[in-house]
Amino acid sequence: MSAEWLTAIGTIGTFVVIAASAIAALVQLRHMRSSNQIVALTECRQTLESAEFRDAQRFVSYELPKRLRDPVERVRVAELPFTGEYEAIGTVANFFESMGMFVKKRIIDEQLACDFWCYAVLRNWHALLPVVTYARRKLDVPQLWENFEYMAVLAERFLKTHPEGAFPAGIRRMPEDTSLLDGVEVSSVS
């Protein structure tokens, strides 16, 4: 075998080794990205399920809209920075700001985040929108909580593209049990 053939075979062999190394590196990067996503999803889930965050969400989603109808409370809400029970506003808004950043930077997959949390994102966004608008103008920071807003836009789009939910097509649904509905309807009529 001539020297040219040996050089050609050596070159092809080198190319194969480099190509295999590149493919292995891409596979490893994909696994690392998946691992990072699992960590971020777990962190989000743990925060959402924590007692402190549940209380903050409950305040923001259900109590704050009632208080915003009261002129005296509106003045208290408008005092920046938020203090006392109004600190829940920052807790909730900052959490969803972080979630939106994770999604925007593709640390968390958009479809996963929306499938998990679109209702929570939108419920809190709509409850906080008057406060967000006020704080942006008062502080002259129009980008305040923009990643939370981004997450709300994605959640809204997800619901529009999945009006019947995200249950896989072609899979049968489990039968419903209406016993509680029947009991509640009878009690509420009485």
Q: Mind spelling out the 3-state secondary structure of 122-149?
A: HHHHHHHHHHHHHHHHHHCCCCCCHHHH
Which range of residues forms the domain containing residue 154?
41-163
Q: Write the single-letter amino acid at 46.
A: Q
SS3 state at 26: helix
Residue 23 lies in a domain: no
Residue 26's pLDDT band, with cuts at 50, 70 and 90, is: low
pLDDT of 24: 63
Task: Decide: 122 and 156 in contact? Cβ < 8 Å.
Answer: yes
Closest CA to 158 of 103, 93, 102, 91: 103
Residue 20 lies in a domain: no
pLDDT: which is higher, 65 or 23:
65
The tally of domains found in the chain comes to: 1
Q: Write the single-letter amino acid at 34.
A: S
Residue 172 lies in a domain: no
How many alpha carbons lie under 13 Å from residue 143 in its C-beta half-sphere?
Answer: 1
Q: What's this model's pTM, rounded to 2 decimal places?
A: 0.78
How many alpha carbons lie under 13 Å from residue 69 in its C-beta half-sphere?
Answer: 5
Residue 187 lies in a domain: no
Residue 106 lies in a domain: yes
pLDDT of 37: 74
Asked if the model's pLDDT at residue 186 lies above 60, the reply is no
Mean pLDDT of 157-180: 93
Residue 171 lies in a domain: no
Residue 15 lies in a domain: no
Residue 33 lies in a domain: no
Which residues 6+ apart lie within 8 Å of 99 measured at CB? Answer: 44, 108, 113, 117, 121, 147, 148, 151
For tokens 């008057």, the residue is 130
Residue 7's pLDDT band, with cuts at 50, 70 and 90, is: confident
Asked if the model's pLDDT at residue 105 lies above 60, the reply is yes
Which residues 6+ apart lie within 8 Å of 28 measured at CB? Answer: none
